[in-house]
Every structure is written in C-alpha cells, then in structure tokens.
C-alpha cells in the first residue's frame, strides 16, 4: 500500500515537471530554391498563426474594426513586418543543420504579411552565410521555440524549386527520447542552487523537422 502511495507521488512529480505548455500555435511551411549544382542560398519561411493569436494581434493594432475579416490596403500595409522586429540575439525559431552541424542563418529579410480566413500569415527569407550543397547529407530545417510558448508544426508544406531529384520529408519528433532529454535537463538543474534558471532549452528535441535531400548521381 505504502509503495503504491510512493508510486503515485513519483507519477505526480513527473507530471508537474513536464507541464510547459504553449499559447500560440503556428502552422509552418518552407520554400527552398536549389540550383543545378544542388546549392541552396537560403530558406523562405511561412508562418500562419492560430485564430486566437491572430485576433489578438489584429485587436492590438486596432485593425479590422468592422470584423469582416478583410483588411483595407492601408491596414494591411500597417501589418507588414509586425513579427520581424527581432531582439538582438533572437534566433528566430528556425534552425538549419547539415550532418549534425548547425548552419548560421542571417536575420530576416523580404518579409510580407497577409490576412485571410481570420488568420495572419507571414513570410520571410533567411540566407546562409555561404551556399549549402545538398549532397550526401540532407539539409535539415527545424522550427521551434526553446521555451515552448509557441508551438510550431510543419503543416503548411515544404516547397522545393529546382535541383535534381530533390525531395523533402517531414519528421515527427521522437517523444520518448525528447521526454528523457527533458527529465535529464531538469535533474541536472535541480542540483543547482539557481532555481530562477530558465526552462531548459529542450525545444529542439520536440521539434518537427524537414529533411531535404537530392538523389545522388544523374
């Protein structure tokens, strides 16, 4: 009986530790231009915000006062770039890797915003420091908020233009593995005196990723 109680306690404790939860949901899509040599200069990122957060942004800015779900040209102009004013050092929630090595991405450019079906969509471009060659190792693009305030899902498609026999696949995270990483990070922090420490940056483990690869040869 007593052991049962202990088991219950441990279960509840685990529950409390893993309880971070998002408030903003974003459908994400990527666009990648690949040249004939398999080189990629950068990534286009499309974000569509959920209905509630879109409504919050619209109301914050006093747009669409007649609630007809359509913005005037002037209102739309005012919406451009609203989510592109990044604090210095903010990584922008998009991460690129190749062969397990992180690839540096520039700040956002060429952004645009649209409003349709009561949801705000934005698009922006981020360049690699030097063109990346998709060869033996696929280009991996992840999108996540390390603090998990925003939940990103790659549900808006990955568009590939150019290249030879190139294709993209979207992978779901390995939940069990991610949970283990979170528990380990929590256990590590629990030993330190600094309880004000931020939520461990384990978002990557929970991130969906798009893997873009090109068939060898030809």
Binding site for another protein (CB under 8 A): 1-2, 4-23, 25, 50-56, 59-60, 62, 67, 118, 149, 151, 175-176, 179, 186, 189-190, 195-200
DSSP string, 182-208: HHHHHHHHHTSS-TTPPPP--HHHH--
In the complex, the smallest distance separating the C-beta of residue 130 from another protein, rounded to whole angstroms, is 37
DSSP single-letter state for residue 68: S
In the complex, the smallest distance separating the C-beta of residue 162 from another protein, rounded to whole angstroms, is 34
Count of CA atoms in the C-beta half-sphere (13 A) of 95: 19
Which pair of structure tokens corresponds to residue 110?
A: 């060429």
Whose Cβ is closer to another protein: residue 27's or residue 33's? 27
Whose Cβ is closer to another protein: residue 97's or residue 186's? 186
Whose Cβ is closer to another protein: residue 133's or residue 170's? 170
In the complex, the smallest distance separating the C-beta of residue 97 from another protein, rounded to whole angstroms, is 25
In the complex, the smallest distance separating the C-beta of residue 89 from another protein, rounded to whole angstroms, is 18
- What's the rounded Cα separation, in Å, for the pair 32 and 168? 10
Determine how many CB atoms are found less than 10 A away from the CB of residue 139.
27
């Amino acid at each position: 009986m007593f052991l049962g109680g202990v088991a219950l306690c441990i279960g509840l404790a685990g529950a409390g530790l893993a309880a971070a939860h998002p408030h903003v949901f974003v459908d994400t899509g990527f666009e990648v231009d690949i040249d004939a040599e398999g080189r990629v200069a950068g990534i286009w990122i499309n974000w569509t915000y959920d209905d509630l957060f879109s409504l919050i942004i619209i109301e914050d800015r006093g747009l669409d006062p007649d609630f007809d779900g359509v913005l005037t040209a002037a209102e739309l102009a005012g919406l451009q770039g609203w989510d592109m004013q990044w604090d210095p050092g903010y990584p922008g929630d998009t991460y690129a890797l190749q062969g397990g090595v992180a690839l540096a991405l520039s700040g956002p450019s060429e952004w645009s915003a649209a409003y349709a079906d009561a949801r705000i969509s934005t698009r922006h471009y981020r360049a690699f420091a030097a063109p990346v060659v998709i060869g033996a190792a696929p280009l991996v693009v992840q999108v996540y908020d390390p603090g998990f305030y925003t939940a990103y899902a790659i549900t808006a498609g990955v568009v590939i233009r150019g290249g030879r026999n190139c294709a993209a696949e979207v992978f779901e995270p390995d939940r069990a593995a991610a949970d283990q990483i979170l528990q380990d990070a929590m256990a590590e922090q629990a030993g330190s005196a600094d309880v004000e420490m931020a939520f461990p940056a384990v978002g990557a483990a929970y991130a969906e990723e798009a893997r873009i690869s090109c068939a060898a040869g030809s």
